[in-house]
Amino acid sequence: MASLSSARTIRRAGVAGVLVAVLAVLAAARLLYTGQREASDAAQWVDHTHRVIEHLDDLELAVARSETALRDRVLVGPTAPAQAYPVARARAESSLAAAFDSTRDNPTQHRRLRALGVALRARFSEAAATMALIDASTPALAAARLAGDRTTGSAERVHRLLTAARDDERSLLATRAARAGAAAHRVRLESAWALLVGLGVVLASFWAVRRETMLLAAAWRNARAAEASARDSEERYRLLFASSPRPTWVYDTETLRFLAVNPAAVAHYGFSESEFLAMTLADIRTDAEREEVRTWVAAAGDAPTTSQRRHTTKDGREIDVQLASHPLTFGERRARLVVVEDVTDRRRLEAKLQDLAVRDPLTGLLNRRGFEQLAAHEIACARRARRTDALLYLDLDGFKGINDTFGHAEGDDALRTVASVIADTVRDHDIVARLGGDELVVYAAGLHRSGEGHAVAARLQAALDAHNRAAAATGRAYTLAFSVGVAELAPGDTLDALLARADTALYEAKQSRYAAA
């Protein structure tokens, strides 16, 4: 499923990369087209301004030539060449018309050239009148008129307007040249950015596809490893399930039907495997419990549970069992794994012991005799089942001080309180006893792992601490405390050896407490 999802992601990443790359190329092309068009327009305007300046330069040259031809006619007289002035005037008018036509985009310049045209025509009219005098053989009057023209400044006005027009065009040329340069720079910059974006998109698409490909390969390898691990785990589970010395089965939580049973269950209950698999959980319950089976299963939910029930074997015997149940998935079904411990013999032994003087009259716990009988039985069961058991040896700290300070009645009450806290904290099938004086023991049977006896000791200490806080709130003047030694059952251990090791651990714990104090 993960591989399929990764493959789809790779396809999506590839398609997305292609689409984004196409969009980037189109955007880059649009940018380039727009930039090139702007740059081309700017360059055309620069060329146009150059042509206007050329027309104005031609106009200035033609005006200068016409003035020179006029002075020559005045100074030399009628014998001077007559064609120079008309040619210069025609050239000037032609240049003015070209400049005027080229500046229609510039209203200010257009108006200035219109004024220049008026001034230029006025100047040409004055020049025509002067040359008429020369032709009439009155050179003195012509010279006087030419001097008068200079005084009135008509030629100067033409020169001033022409200079202003040329300066304005040169300023406009500088502006348009700057715009053209900026447009060209922008085109280069946008081209570079488009190239970088396109390259980035390609690299990002390549990275995404490569990453998803690597993830797909890793997912495939992990799936193969998980499959191999699952096969190994399933095989180990089958071996453990089949070789467990305790009756064990798996049942469907919906139908309550047995899905698997181990040989120990077949041997202990008397039903064959095929008979078990045709039965439901209710079929092995007693009549008193059969109607409540589904309620108990629903109440367990998805949490591990422990419980005590009564079952019926094939030959009709009723047995007391201790059940440890864990949720699991069996195939595609919701199921529970149940491990069974037959505690019928222990219950009978407990009932027998109750008929004897096996209980401590002060605390209501088992006394030494009762403890030794039950603990010896549990040690034998532990050897057969290869389970982990532990013994906790407890001794009250400061008990003599309570007796001396508050009296023996208060000391007895303190002892009963500690015994009650311990009995309420341990599991129902754990054995709690008073060996004598202020010495108590707990036999914890069927622990989940080695070292868990210390966890039991920690729970007892936490429970006593909680009791002390509650008692302090009511005004009790002393605090209850105990030291504990923990010994785990070892192969070949007798009860005496286990007690001796726990007593040694208790002594070391007391020494540590005193050293810390």
pLDDT of residue 18: 64
Listed residues 276, 309, 342: the one ending a domain: 342
pLDDT tens across 476-498, in order? 999 999 999 999 999 989 999 99
**What's the domain count of the chain?**
3
Residue 226 lies in a domain: no
Residues 511 and 473 in one domain: yes
Dihedral-angle region of residue 494 (phi above 0 means left; psi in -120 to 50 means alpha; beta otherwise): beta
Residue 135 domain-assigned? Answer: yes
CB atoms within 10 A of CB 203: 11
Extract the residue ranges of the chain whose pLDDT is less than 50: 1-2, 150-152
**To which H or E segment does residue 408 belong?**
helix 408-425
Closest CA to 310 of 290, 335, 291: 290
- Residue showing tokens 């010395």: 245
Question: H/E element holding 470?
Answer: helix 452-473
Q: Write down the pLDDT at residue 151.
A: 39
Helix axes 408-425, 399-406, angle to 10 degrees: 140
489 exposure class (CB count in 10 Å sphere: 0-12, 13-18, 19+): buried
Distance (Å, rounded) from C-alpha 358 to C-alpha 368? 7
Q: Does residue 89 contact residue 103 with C-beta atoms inside 8 Å?
A: no
| Claim: this prediction has a pTM higher than 0.75 | no
Residues 368 and 302 in one domain: no
Whether the CB-CB separation of 189 and 140 falls below 8 Å is answered with no
257: helix, strand or coil: strand
What is the rounded CA–CA span in Å between residue 465 and residue 477? 15
Do 363 and 335 share a domain, yes or no? no
Is residue 224 one of the residues assigned to a domain? no
User: 43 and 175 share a domain?
Assistant: yes
In this structure, the answer to whether residues 377 and 459 fall within a common structural domain is yes
- Tell me which of 342, 373, 402 is where a domain ends: 342
Residues 10 and 147 in one domain: yes
- Render pLDDT for 372-409 as a digit per residue (tens, 0 to 9): 999 999 999 998 888 899 999 999 999 999 999 999 99
Identify the domain boundary among 342, 376, 404. Answer: 342
* Structure tokens given for 46: 């620069």
Long-range contacts (CB closer than 8 Å, 24 or more residues apart) made by 185-190: 186/35, 186/38, 186/39, 187/32, 187/35, 187/36, 187/38, 187/39, 190/28, 190/31, 190/32, 190/35
What is residue 481's predicted lDDT score, i.e. its pLDDT?
A: 94
Secondary structure (DSSP) of 336-351: EEEEEEE-HHHHHHHH
Instruction: Report the pLDDT value the prediction gives residue 8, as an integer from 0 to 100.
Output: 63
Q: How many whole angstroms separate alpha carbon 106 and alpha carbon 108?
A: 6
Residue 98 CA to residue 56 CA, distance in Å, equals: 9
Q: What CATH number corresponds to the domain at position 57?
A: 1.20.120.1730
d(CA 353, CA 357): 7
Give the side-chain half-sphere CA count within 13 A for 113.
30
Q: Which residue has the tokens 């040989």?
A: 263
Instruction: Tell me the angle at which helices 495-516 and 368-385 cross, rounded to the nearest 10 degrees.
Output: 110
Instruction: Give domain status of residue 225, yes or no.
Output: no
Beta strands (DSSP E) in 279-436 are: 305-312, 318-330, 333-342, 388-396, 431-436
Residue 233 lies in a domain: no
Question: Does residue 227 lie within any of the structural domains?
Answer: no
Q: Residues 468, 323: one domain?
A: no
Which residues is 285 bridged to in the sheet?
Answer: 311
Are 153 and 50 within one domain?
A: yes
Identify whether 239 is part of a domain.
no
Shared-domain flag, residues 287 and 184: no
Q: What is the CATH number of the domain that holds 462?
A: 3.30.70.270
Domain CATH code at residue 320:
3.30.450.20
Strands (DSSP E) found in 166-291: 248-252, 258-261
Query: Are both 17 and 139 inside the same structural domain?
Result: yes
Cβ neighbors of 43 (< 8 A, separation 6 or more) are 180
The total of other beta-carbon atoms located within 10 Å of residue 144's CB is: 14
Domain that includes residue 278, residue range: 244-342
CB within 8 A of 491, min separation 6: which ones?
383
Euclidean distance between CA atoms 235 and 241, whole angstroms: 10
In 3D space, the residue among 427, 458, 459 whose CA is nearest the CA of residue 443 turns out to be: 427
Does residue 116 form part of some domain? yes
Question: 182 and 40 share a domain?
Answer: yes
Task: Please check whether residues 98 and 25 belong to one and the same domain.
Answer: yes
